[in-house]
Amino acid sequence: MSPLLEMRSITKEYRGVAAVEDVSFALETGEIHALVGENGAGKSTLTKIIAGAVTPTSGTMLLDGKPIVFAVPKDALHAGIAMVYQENSLVPALTVAQNIFLGRERFFNRMRGINIAAQQFLQSLNFGVDPTASVGSLGAAQRQMVEIARAVRQQARIIIFDEPTASLTPEEKFHFFGLMKRLKQSGVSIIFISHALEEALQNADRITVLRDGKHVLTDAAAKLDRTAVIRAMVGRNLSGEIYGVHAGSRAVRARGRKVLSVQNLSMGSLVRNTSFSVFAGQVTGMFGLIGSGRTETAKIIAGVLKRDMLHGGEVKLDGRPVRYRVPQPAVRDGIVYVTEDRKLEGFFETMSIGGNLNVSAMATKGGIFTLVNLAEMRRLAKKWIDAIKIRAINGDARVIELSGGNQQKLVIAKSLVQTPKLIIFDEPTRGVDVGAIAEIHQFINRLADEGLAVVVISSYLPEIMNLSDRILVTRQGRVVEEFTAREATEERIMYAAVH
Amino acid sequence: MLRGMIDRFVGRGDAAVTVPPMDGALRPNQKLEEAHVAIEAGAPDNLVLRRGDVLFSSGRDLRRLDTGAVVRNFDRPIACVAAAADGRLAVGLTGAEVVIVDPDGMVASLPIAHTGCATALAFLGDALIVCRGSARYAADQWKRDLMETGAGGPGTGSVVLMPRGGAPRVIADQLRWPFGALAVNGHIVVSESWAHRLLLLDPHGSSPPRPVLFDLPGYPARLAAASDGAAWLTVFAPRSQLIEFVLREDGYRRRMMSEIDPDYWIAPALANGRSFLEPIQGGALKQMGVLKPWAPSRSYGLIIKLDDDFEPTLSLHSRADGSRHGTTSVLEHSATLFVASKGGDVVVAMPVEQLSEQ
């Protein structure tokens, strides 16, 4: 019996450079197939070829044993192939219900009927999203849920999920994988891309590994383990470099002077009377479920958001009360925030690496009459490409052309250009491959070793435990517990986060 | 003036009703609660070491810690004590002057004009350092002094250096209740309770006072030398948002002071939970009859170890649900740390080597 979908010797070249080279891939009916690889390995290109968003340069694709060519994504959709993109494809101005039914509207639509149908559908998926809310007002996790709901709603035979769980809470992930299994039982085939290897190993039937655009390995998930997958992905054993060292068994950096003191900070119902300190020469980890106010707290400190106008608490930098209405004075005082949403807030994607770095540098020392110095821009780009190993042709490469991991490194470089004394990383390795994760972790550790005060916000417990010298747990808008790296366990942290 | 009014309205600057967090080295634990009892006594206060014996003050008595025997009795409650290397004792009496007790028992009084309201004493060589908490009240009236001073009012306290046989010299004044002194490397470190900070003073007066630790989450009290660090610092009560708010409300405080018994003021305390009349016990965080340890209580027990740069390195706590509150004095001797809990009527002891850094 032939596979449901088969790709034979697929190659896709961009200006003579192969993004995918001679890759063969097969998907069986009712199979969950995980596609893993470093950023830039060709996963997204391969799945976009399946979804009709990209046309292959050579090779053939067969659906139900018959050759097929998709000119546009709509062709793939009609053939029963839906894709949930990592980048959000929802319309922010429309409601959740309108987005779910987008493209499938009837001539006359009754909003109430659409809302009720959407409500029932979302409930059947265990997704707690209000169908009448506008998508623009939703957080990243809820937007992801709407994306997934829309794909499932299209009743596709093949659904491709690109990093579906990156912004979901543990509970939402549990529901999502339950949904995936239900879809599988009903005969739907699923391809899912994930950088969380445990998810692939636990939930997939088979795993395919790509490296540098080439097929490396396809095998049953039951026959593979984490180390084998990582070795196939990067060509070396990285397991110990990333999450292999337990927090309790490694040396903890000594606390330096108190750089930041947050006292009774409040912002509406998102940040509620929270207090904590950050010390120089240490990585302070901040763990909490989505909605626990971590990002909002960090953004208030960095001047991106404003605390409550009346009795909103205090932020003290080196003992001096500070209150920023915009980020620039915070940057000048040495506070930088590395955003969790790099695509939206991290960079100008059509600008070059040098241009992006220059914009950041100008935030600290530029004025309204500053002229852009192209030579300086290129020097800056070269310096940081070398310093944090951004893989790009040169400093003139546009950010949109970089892989996710390299984009993240650029966002970090943009922050470091501003010579901070306090740097806040919000989900620094979200959507980043394991090779880049190891490099980013090493870099974060190096910053703390050099005496900077570093805050790492992460929803991924192994990351928090591996990086942090002290761990703050947030719940319902405030820091509720503090653990030293030695005493922290996943159970204790999670207990504090949910109880 | 306009800025002050706006600050007051929006709650920022000096009008921000905020409290520093107890985290990092000050992360709460139960170490004071778990420490073993060295002796139970009524309001034990100042611990000193004289010729190898640990003494402590309790009411009018100066007692030995090991036997509980009264070494000497005074006609007024003892406010503070210090012991010199040659065996002399300096004793500050509540509402009176400081007296010097020679090793042979002879007593000499120092002038009350320079030693009234002594809250802490320390010897710097032959000279005596006297912390005078206030120029208005006696040492036992500390609560009234705080309420009268408020959050931003000028202090009336001072630190006086009294060389043996020489003229007294004020080395710092307008302090907000200096409550501890320690000679460190030829300088004097003083805890300024109402300002929640430590000041480094030059005994020669050639440089101005310099804050070395500030924004403490409680009211610092006496200091003692640590064998491997700079100092041990006691904190006798915590700061809370409610009290910080009251300290900014002048009219409310005036009325409270005139109409209510001081034991029931919204003010720091050495102990709480002793009467149902006390205001908002533990921030009303009593559930099923159990006071939560994180409740914002009026009293607390806290000892902080400071390093050479006066940065906290570890802390010992008795939290809201504990009883060893009102920690006013600490002493390290023979690898043991002794802590006087004035509010808990007990002196506790613990081996120093078991106190690992946090």
Can you list the domains of chain A with their CATH numbers? 5-237 (3.40.50.300), 247-498 (3.40.50.300)
pLDDT at A422 (0 to 100) = 95
Residue A272 forms contact with B (CB below 8 Å): no
Chain A nearest C-alpha distance from B233 (Å): 18
Q: B304: closest CA among B271, B267, B339?
A: B339
Nearest CA in chain B to A310: B10
Answer yes or no: are the C-beta atoms of A145 and A164 closer than 8 Å.
no
Mutate: best of A255, A283, A474, partner B, most B CBs <10 A: A255
| Residue owning tokens 């929270």 | A274
Q: Which residues pair with B99 in a beta bridge?
A: B91, B109
Beta-carbon separation of A261 and B11 below 8 A: no
Beta-carbon separation of B17 and A311 below 8 A: yes
Q: Interface pTM (ipTM) of the complex?
A: 0.83
Chain A residues near residue B25 by CB distance under 8 angstroms: 255
Query: Which of A309, A314, A484 has the CB atom closest to B18's CB atom?
Result: A314
Chain A residues near residue B11 by CB distance under 8 angstroms: 310-312
Chain B residues near residue A262 by CB distance under 8 angstroms: 21
Chain A residues near residue B9 by CB distance under 8 angstroms: 310
Range of the domain at B116: 27-354
CATH of the domain at B67: 2.120.10.30
Beta-carbon separation of B16 and A479 below 8 A: no
Residue B254 lies in a domain: yes
Nearest CA in chain A to B25: A255
The DSSP line for B217-283 is: SEEEEEEEE-SSSSEEEEEEEE--HHHHHHTT-HHHHHHHHHHS-GGGSSS--S--SS-TTSSSGGG
Mapped to the 3 state alphabet, what secondary structure does A241-299 carry? HHHHCCHHHCCCCCCCCEEEEEEEEEECCCEEEEEEEEECCCEEEEEECCCCCHHHHHH
Chain A nearest C-alpha distance from B300 (Å): 19
How far apart are the C-alpha atoms of B352 and B232, rounded to whole Å? Answer: 12
Answer yes or no: are the C-beta atoms of B356 and A252 closer than 8 Å.
no
pLDDT at A87 (0 to 100) = 59
Coil vs helix vs strand at B294: coil
Chain B residues near residue A314 by CB distance under 8 angstroms: 12, 16, 18
Chain B residues near residue A453 by CB distance under 8 angstroms: none
Which run of H or of E encompasses B56?
Answer: strand B53-58
pLDDT at A15 (0 to 100) = 62
Residue B339 lies in a domain: yes
Q: A162: closest CA among A12, A42, A63?
A: A42
Which run of H or of E encompasses A117?
Answer: helix A111-124
Residue B21 lies in a domain: no
The one-letter code for the residue type at A135 is V
Q: Which residues pair with A260 in a beta bridge?
A: A278, A317
Residue B10 lies in a domain: no
Answer yes or no: are the C-beta atoms of A348 and A356 closer than 8 Å.
yes
Q: How confident is the prediction along chain A (499 residues), in pLDDT tens digits per residue?
A: 678 999 999 998 876 667 788 999 999 999 999 998 876 678 888 998 999 988 999 999 999 989 999 888 888 888 889 888 765 678 888 999 998 888 777 777 778 888 998 999 888 877 778 899 888 777 766 777 788 888 888 878 899 988 777 667 677 778 788 888 888 888 889 998 887 788 888 899 999 998 878 899 899 999 988 888 877 877 655 555 556 555 455 678 988 889 999 999 999 888 989 999 999 999 999 998 767 889 999 999 999 999 998 889 999 999 899 999 898 899 999 999 998 877 778 888 888 888 888 888 887 776 667 777 788 888 888 888 888 778 777 777 888 878 777 888 888 888 888 889 999 999 888 777 777 788 889 889 999 999 999 999 987 788 888 899 999 999 888 898 899 888 888 778 877 876 6
Beta-carbon separation of B19 and A257 below 8 A: no
Beta-carbon separation of A313 and B18 below 8 A: yes
Residue B3 lies in a domain: no
Beta-carbon separation of A316 and B10 below 8 A: no
Chain A nearest C-alpha distance from B307 (Å): 11
Query: Which of B13, B27, B241 has the CB atom closest to A321's CB atom?
Result: B13
pLDDT at A359 (0 to 100) = 84
How far apart are the C-alpha atoms of B134 and B188, rounded to whole Å? Answer: 19
Residue B1 lies in a domain: no
In Å, how far are A99, A204, A279, A353, B45 from B312, measured between CA atoms? Answer: 55, 50, 12, 43, 23
Chain B residues near residue A472 by CB distance under 8 angstroms: 23
Answer yes or no: are the C-beta atoms of A353 and A414 closer than 8 Å.
no
Residue B9 lies in a domain: no
Encode pLDDT of A235-285 as tens digits.
Answer: 655 555 556 555 455 678 988 889 999 999 999 888 989 999 999 999 999
Residue A382 forms contact with B (CB below 8 Å): no
* Pure H helices in A166-214: 170-185, 197-203
Mutate: best of B3, B5, B12, partner A, most A CBs <10 A: B12
How far apart are the C-alpha atoms of B96 and B43, rounded to whole Å? Answer: 19
* Pure H helices in A351-403: 353-365, 374-387
The DSSP line for A33-44 is: EEEE--TTSSHH
Nearest CA in chain B to A322: B13
Nearest CA in chain A to B215: A319
Residue B132 lies in a domain: yes
Beta-carbon separation of A263 and B16 below 8 A: yes
Mutate: best of B7, B12, B17, B18, partner A, most A CBs <10 A: B18
- Quick count: other Cβ atoms within 10 Å of Cβ A375? 8
Q: B234: closest CA among B307, B317, B327?
A: B327
Answer yes or no: are the C-beta atoms of B213 and B192 closer than 8 Å.
no
Beta-carbon separation of A261 and B21 below 8 A: yes
pLDDT at B357 (0 to 100) = 56
| Total domains in the fold of chain B | 1
List of chain B residues with pLDDT < 70: 280-289, 356-358
Beta-carbon separation of A311 and B9 below 8 A: no
Coil vs helix vs strand at A378: helix
How far apart are the C-alpha atoms of A60 and A80, rounded to whole Å? Answer: 18
Chain B nearest C-alpha distance from A349 (Å): 39
Instruction: Give pTM, 2 decimals.
Output: 0.74
Which run of H or of E encompasses A89?
Answer: none
Q: Which two tokens stand for residue A19?
A: 């993004």
Q: Which two tokens stand for residue B284?
A: 């009303």
Answer yes or no: are the C-beta atoms of A493 and A468 closer than 8 Å.
no
Counting DSSP H helices and E strands in chain B, the numbers are 6, 26
Nearest CA in chain B to A252: B358
Query: Which of A258, A262, A314 has the CB atom closest to B16's CB atom?
Result: A314
Beta-carbon separation of A264 and B214 below 8 A: no
Q: Phi, psi at residue A59, to the nearest 5°?
A: 105, 170
Answer yes or no: are the C-beta atoms of A17 and A42 closer than 8 Å.
no
Q: Phi, psi at residue A116, to the nearest 5°?
A: -65, -45
Terminal CA-CA length for chain A = 51
Query: Which of A257, A275, A482 has the CB atom closest to B27's CB atom?
Result: A482
Mutate: best of A260, A301, A311, partner B, most B CBs <10 A: A311
